[in-house]
Amino acid sequence: MNQESIPTQAAKRVFPAFDLANLLRSTFAPEPGQRICVLIDLPEPADARGFAFLKNPELTIQKNAVSFFHEPLHQRVMSELGLQGGGFYAYRVTGGSNLDLPDEAFTPEGACVSLERDVYPHHDIILCISTYSATAPLTAFAKKHGFRGATLHGVNHTILRTGLAVSYDDVSIDAEKMRLGMTGADWVEIDFLHNGTTHTLRLDLGGQEAQKSHGLCRGSEPDVANLPAGEIYFVPTGAEGHFPMRYEDGTIGLMHVAGGRIQRAELLNGDSSVVEAHNAKLSSDPVTGELGELGFGTQILPVSGRDIQDEKIRGTIHVATGRSDHLGGSLTPDKFAEHHNATHDDILFAPHKTSEILVTQARMRRNGETVVLIENYEPSSYINGLLR
């Protein structure tokens, strides 16, 4: 039976208008009287005073935080849901994905506050709309101080009108169907085709329970949802093989993996200095190459240009290097030689992002059988069967 491609399905899908109250109900099911606040990051946090940063046209994420989160909270959402608080705090941009957050923050009134002393302990729900993902550090703070939260880095208008406009009850149902069909996997092998040559990466999973990012963060337990949500993920127990990786400038390197880590990178195309810099980092701080996540998207969504949504698209696959403690892994910031290296960096493979690299097949060994998960960036009949 022929099935429309994921991009075609996404183009035909009709999304409801974004509504913050609906998002909060869907994700948190908040109770009246609970306190909520918004965090953002800024190059100069003191520019939060009087919302001076809104004059900078480059700070689109932070402007969206005001227009679609802070202002609606005060205009109607807090009264509609019976919430309290509504504070707004800006911390200094960290410069890397999932790096620890600074403690100092500023308010629109010009006050300088401590996040650990003045913000985290006094809120039930914290929304972090930032340049870089803050999921790992905010999860650690949530467990320490008892709040629930959501990280929404890179929010743009496509994400607002699609990935954040969905019902996360529906997302959770699909994610659970896919999770049940993948949990307990022994390994996943991925074939990558670049310039006529196939490279294969094998990620050992050790029969572990698959986890899901499904957008629901309800109840009283401390937790942080990464939104938009919709993925199945594992923390690999080991990895061997090779895979091509596209650097930010377009350079393509071949990652040589052994013992669960990228041991070295080899130039395939582009700027040799980029690969040399990567190898220097791997040599000086070896844990930066550790493969700490394997993820599969579960949703039918349009491409947003931001990995936070695009890695949630069904048919895409991503691996990540670095910090893994927020996913249940053992790699914590203290194990890195340099603090600024303690990031968690997703490497997304998708048609729009890595057009030079084709994932010809991803297959899984589970319960004594090998099944195909993805072929040429399309979910297999096995995955489609799970989601019927």
The confidence score (pLDDT) of residue 53 equals 98
Domain that holds residue 362: 168-386
When computed from its CA atoms, the radius of gyration of the chain, rounded to whole angstroms, is 21
70 domain-assigned: yes
Q: Decide the pairing of beta strands 223-226 and 231-234.
A: unpaired
Angle subtended at Cα 132 by Cα 106 and Cα 56, rounded to the nearest 5 degrees: 55
Residue among 143, 164, 157, 318 at smallest CA distance from 234: 318
4 domain-assigned: no
Average pLDDT over residues 356-379: 98
The amino acid at residue 228 is P
Identify whether residues 127 and 248 lie together within a single domain.
no
Q: Which of the listed residues 161, 181, 209 is the one where a domain comes to its end? A: 161
Identify whether residues 227 and 243 lie together within a single domain.
yes
Identify whether residues 108 and 174 lie together within a single domain.
no
Q: Is 294 helix (H, G, I), strand (E, B) or coil?
A: strand
The confidence score (pLDDT) of residue 3 equals 73
3 domain-assigned: no
Percent with pLDDT over 90 in the chain: 98
- Tens-place pLDDT, residues 37-96: 999 999 999 999 999 999 999 999 999 999 999 999 999 999 999 999 999 999 999 999
Identify whether residues 66 and 179 lie together within a single domain.
no
pLDDT at 2 over 90: no
262: left (phi > 0), else alpha (psi -120 to 50), else beta?
beta
The confidence score (pLDDT) of residue 83 equals 98
5 domain-assigned: no
With a CB cutoff of 8 Å and minimum separation 6, the contacts of 51 are 66, 108
76 domain-assigned: yes
CA 203 to chain centre: 20
pLDDT at 334 over 50: yes
pLDDT at 198 over 50: yes
Identify whether residues 75 and 173 lie together within a single domain.
no
pLDDT at 1 over 90: no
Identify whether residues 74 and 182 lie together within a single domain.
no
Q: Which of the listed residues 161, 191, 214 is the one where a domain comes to its end? A: 161
Identify whether residues 148 and 285 lie together within a single domain.
no
Identify whether residues 124 and 179 lie together within a single domain.
no
Q: Which of the listed residues 105, 140, 161 is the one where a domain comes to its end? A: 161
| DSSP H or E segment with residue 272 | helix 272-284
8 domain-assigned: no
Instruction: Give the chain's domain count.
Output: 2
11 domain-assigned: no
Q: Decide the pairing of beta strands 104-106 and 84-92.
A: antiparallel
Identify whether residues 78 and 127 lie together within a single domain.
yes
196 domain-assigned: yes
If you average pLDDT over every residue of the chain, what do you get?
97
- Tens-place pLDDT, residues 261-283: 999 999 999 999 999 999 999 99
Identify whether residues 340 and 364 lie together within a single domain.
yes
Identify whether residues 222 and 286 lie together within a single domain.
yes
Determine the Cα–Cα distance for residues 242 and 56; give it in Å rounded to an integer. 43
The confidence score (pLDDT) of residue 266 equals 98
Identify whether residues 343 and 210 lie together within a single domain.
yes
Q: Which structure tokens are listed for 296?
A: 């599969």
Q: Decide the pairing of beta strands 211-213 and 223-226.
A: unpaired
